[in-house]
Structure 1
Amino acid sequence: MPAITIGDLAQSFMLRQQNTDLKSRMNQLSQELASGRTADVARHLSGSYSYLADVERNLTLLDSYDAATGEAILFTQTMQDVLERFQTLSTDLGSAALTAAGSFLDEAVISASTRATEDLESMVNAVNSTVAGRALFSGIDSDTVPLVSHEDILADLRTALAGQTTLAGVQGVLDTWFDTGGGFDTVAYQGSATSLQPFVLGEGETVDLDLRGDDEAFRTMLKFASMAALTADQALGFDSDLQAQMMKAAGEGLSFQQERLVQIRADLGYAQTRAQESSARIVSERAGYLIAQSELLAVDPYETATQLEDVQFQLEALYAMTVKLARLSLTDYL
């Protein structure tokens, strides 16, 4: 029976192909030995992807929950900082107003009224705070700050208060303007009537930040701050007795009607706690899934090293055969 032989060109091609295959396998095994993870997932799992797919799906979900939770933490913390500043401004202004009203000095009332204008501006700016380019208290219209400027608020109130000569009259106008459907809604507030969508912290778990710039807490404090600011307004020309009465009423309102502000800060604190707890849970769950993923894709370092030595031996043998057949030097071969 005649021997079956292959030509030089075919033999050369076969040797080159074996060389390529062995080098590819050696690189793969070297990578696996260095990383401790398989480079050929299909072969390693024998085509059974279901558990790995479930692990990776959960990791992807956790990434989305982590992003939402991080945003919730950022929003709640910034809101809390803003509310703290707003409350400090209103409380301090209340004390200053009561002190001025109790001094029975026109100059003290005028000075407190000037301060109230400045503090009103700071309070409005606080409500108009943004984070990451989004207004905190505008509801879903987060591209627009919730309140107009303090000058616009005072300008509209001057028109509404014109002709008032008694404390009861002034209070009635202010109550109407700041109540639902009044000037505050039509002139001052320019955010949405719909609150932000709840932040999704996990499967079936959300946190709701139902707080907007038209909340009663903001209305009340801004009303009394506006009263103090307009007490000594020259355009309105209130007499000294009415100025003293207005400053006292403004101070009492700012000092003793903080219940709603305290309540929303407490509610916000609870939301903060939930978001932080969710963040800790996500970190723990992600660690567990990463361990499971690592175990699924892990390779035995001893077995991998043995296979690598075997491939290196085969590559050396192939080289020796190639040199013998083609009389190549090592430099030519490489």
Structure 2
Amino acid sequence: MKTSFISTLSIQTTMRNSISNVQREMVKANQEAVSQKHADLGVTLGANTSRALDLSRDISRTDSLLTTAALATQRLQTAELSLKSMNEQGLKIQSAILTLGSSADETSLATARLAMSDALDAFTNFANTAVQGEYIFSGINSDVKPLDDYFAPGSPAKAAVAAELTQYLSANAIPSKEQMTKAQMDGFLDNLQAKFNGSAPLTSPPHPAAVAGQDFWKTFFSDASDENMKSRISPTEVVESSTNANSQGMRNFAFASIISMEYLQTGMDKDARAAVATRTTSLINKAMNSEGSINQQRTSIGIYTERVSKAEERLQAQKDILTTSLGSMENVDPEEAATRLNTMKTLLETAYTVTAKIQQLSLANFL
């Protein structure tokens, strides 16, 4: 009988190779158990790999649209809250005028003027609302504050209104605003209102020749763009996700506040003062409820918000479907992955034990 000799080195080498193989498989099994996805998608999916990549791209695109829609929703909701607050300030102006009535008492007039100045200040702050560094009432000029502060030192807006009054008084040989009659006050307010709402251009004098022919509101009050921000909320749908401070409603609000602050004075002719109060009431009503009014802007914002909300629902449903389809291709059974990982651990421990015993084999132990 012939016997064959197998060295312990050969056995050890075989065990080392086995351990290396088990370790590699264990790394893959651990990765799949943690990520719950196949360790090597290319090997596992084969020809379906391109399909998985297409699904991943579609999910990324949908996520991008969802992010855009979420930002649009935030802008629209903030704009709606600001417009609601502006409307509340308009109601305060109406209440102040109603409370004042025909009173010529300085205390009552001062209270009314204070209410108007507070309303204009609050209105300006709401119009300058920003979301994530973007001014929501600036249109596409979202990095620029839309309205200048009428009460700021050296305010161009305040100076422009004063220049219009000075020019009117001079052109009509009126010594001062306190001596203006009702007809003269109405004439002045008609002229100034036309410039505020953009139906009449700036003239020189009283303004520099460089701005003659331009829009009074956009030159001295607003840096907003007439074009609103737009957001893509689906592959085929784009909505306006902001509004702007150049609307007729905002112009009328500012005009009503300013004339009541400047001309509801004790020393003025009572009929002229009554003309100012009447014009203020008319303008603030237009500011809140007419064409291009604050409430009309709120309505448009509400419509856009609803469209974005519906789009978000559709996008989320689409993402869920895509994610499920991709998961059916890429995902592993978590229980099976955990079982395989435990099996690999057991094999590795067994291999280590056998290797240790082989290394202890020596003829010296048997002599």
Query: What is the TM-score with the length of structure 2 in the denominator?
Result: 0.77
Among 219, 222, 230, the alignment partner of 1:189 is 222
Among 271, 276, 280, the alignment partner of 1:241 is 271
Q: SS of the counterpart of 1:137?
A: coil
Paired residues of 2:26 and 2:345 also in contact (CA < 8 A):
yes
**2:239 equivalent to 1:207:** yes
Q: SS of the counterpart of 1:199?
A: strand
Among 310, 318, 335, the alignment partner of 1:277 is 310
Please give the residue correspondences for 1:58-97 in structure 2 after superposition, counting only pairs within 5 Å: 58-97=58-97
- AA in 2 matched with 1:249: R
Among 297, 322, 330, the alignment partner of 2:355 is 322
Corresponding residue number in structure 2 for 1:287: 320
Q: SS of the counterpart of 1:253?
A: helix
Among 154, 161, 166, the alignment partner of 2:158 is 154
Give identity over the alignment, percent.
Answer: 21
Q: Distance in 2 between matches of 1:320 and 1:280?
A: 58
**2:55 equivalent to 1:55:** yes
Q: SS of the counterpart of 1:49?
A: helix
Corresponding residue number in structure 1 for 2:46: 46
Please give the residue correspondences for 1:68-147 in structure 2 after superposition, counting only pairs within 5 Å: 68-103=68-103, 105=105, 107-147=107-147
CA RMSD of aligned residues (A): 2.9
Q: CA deviation at 1:29?
A: 2.3
Q: SS of the counterpart of 2:232?
A: strand
Paired residues of 1:161 and 1:173 also in contact (CA < 8 A):
no
- AA in 1 matched with 2:192: L
Q: Distance in 1 between matches of 2:44 and 2:237?
A: 37
Q: Distance in 2 between matches of 1:256 and 1:179?
A: 12
Give the direction of change, closer, same or farther, for the CA distance of 1:224–1:280 in structure 2 (3 Å limit).
Answer: same
Structure 1, unaligned runs of 5 or more: 329-334
Q: CA deviation at 1:255?
A: 2.9
Q: CA deviation at 1:317?
A: 5.5
Give the direction of change, closer, same or farther, for the CA distance of 1:309–1:85 in structure 2 (3 Å limit).
Answer: closer
Tell me the number of residue pairs that the alignment of Structure 1 and Structure 2 aligns: 322
- AA in 1 matched with 2:189: Q
Q: Note the alpha carbon deviations across 1:125-183, whole angstroms, 9 max, x for none.
A: 21111111211111222222111112223332122113252222221232133132442
Q: SS of the counterpart of 2:233?
A: strand
Corresponding residue number in structure 1 for 2:173: none
- AA in 2 matched with 1:157: V
**2:209 equivalent to 1:177:** no
Paired residues of 1:114 and 1:229 also in contact (CA < 8 A):
yes
Q: SS of the counterpart of 2:101?
A: helix
Corresponding residue number in structure 2 for 1:20: 20
Structure 2, unaligned runs of 5 or more: 170-176, 199-213, 362-367
Q: Distance in 2 between matches of 1:183 and 1:308?
A: 75
Q: Distance in 1 between matches of 2:139 and 2:186?
A: 34
Give the direction of change, closer, same or farther, for the CA distance of 1:284–1:16 in structure 2 (3 Å limit).
Answer: same
Paired residues of 1:30 and 1:308 also in contact (CA < 8 A):
yes
38-47 or 113-122: bigger deviation:
38-47
Paired residues of 1:95 and 1:251 also in contact (CA < 8 A):
no
Q: Distance in 1 between matches of 2:223 and 2:84?
A: 23
Give the direction of change, closer, same or farther, for the CA distance of 1:31–1:98 in structure 2 (3 Å limit).
Answer: same
Q: SS of the counterpart of 1:190?
A: coil
Corresponding residue number in structure 2 for 1:331: none
Paired residues of 1:109 and 1:247 also in contact (CA < 8 A):
no
